[in-house]
């Protein structure tokens, strides 16, 4: 058989297997997210933060941020329950390839080049909880900025789980004009240390 034809057949088969595995991950994540209104709370928070930052008067900005406290608590509570639900996922389906691009069976063939999505979600949950409690006593504006970074980094991890790191980073840059490296630097020091230890 023509070597070029063999390569084309192998590439086609690889593409379809890879696409099937990605669909399985998307469906699994959606199944665990379905009982919650996490996206709705994220949208309300991010829009609220933007509105608050657009206020010229400091007093008015603080009022808008104070109104978002319920949304923050709802998000933290629901994301914590989602994370607990995802802990039930079997390890093979929880592994995420650290390779920049998605390859079929990468998590099975190269387990040393993977991280555990279950642990990643715990890190994101703890990060959002910490910022919401404001353990470090940050000013409202700084806390809103950091919570936004925690949320965006979590979304990046979810896209990475479903597709690949490259696609997750490209989506984040296209939608939020924020490079992955900037997100990592913008979250709390505790989140950053735990996250880098996990994916490093």
The string of pLDDT tens digits covering residues 145-200 is: 999 999 999 999 999 999 999 999 999 999 999 999 999 999 999 999 999 999 99
Distance from chain centroid for Cα 135: 22
- Identify the band that residue 59 occupies on the pLDDT scale cut at 50, 70 and 90: confident
Average pLDDT, integer, range 82-93: 96
d(CA 190, CA 136): 11
Ranges of each domain in the chain: 3-199
Q: Tell me, yes or no, if the pTM score tops 0.85.
A: yes
Q: Point out the least confidently predicted range of 12-26, 53-67, 79-93, 155-169.
A: 12-26
pLDDT at 108: 76
90: Cα within 13 Å, side-chain hemisphere: 2
183: Cα within 13 Å, side-chain hemisphere: 23
């Amino acid at each position: 058989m023509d070597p070029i034809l063999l390569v084309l057949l192998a590439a086609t088969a690889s593409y379809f297997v890879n696409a099937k595995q990605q669909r399985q991950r998307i469906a699994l994540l959606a199944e665990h997210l379905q009982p919650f209104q996490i996206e709705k709370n994220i949208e309300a928070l991010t829009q609220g933060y933007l509105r608050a930052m657009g206020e010229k008067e400091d007093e008015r900005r603080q009022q808008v941020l104070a109104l978002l406290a319920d949304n923050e608590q709802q998000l933290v509570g629901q994301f914590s329950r989602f994370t607990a639900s995802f802990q039930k996922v079997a390890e093979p389906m929880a592994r995420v390839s650290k390779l920049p691009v998605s390859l079929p069976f990468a998590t099975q063939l190269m387990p040393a080049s993977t991280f555990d999505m279950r642990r990643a979600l715990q890190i994101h949950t703890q990060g959002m909880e910490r910022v919401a409690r404001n353990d470090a006593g940050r000013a409202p504006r700084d806390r809103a900025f950091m919570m936004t970074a925690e949320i965006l980094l979590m979304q990046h991890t979810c896209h990475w789980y479903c597709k690949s790191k490259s696609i997750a980073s490209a989506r984040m840059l296209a939608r939020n004009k924020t490079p992955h490296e900037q997100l990592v630097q913008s979250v709390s020091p505790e989140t950053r240390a735990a996250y880098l230890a996990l994916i490093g």
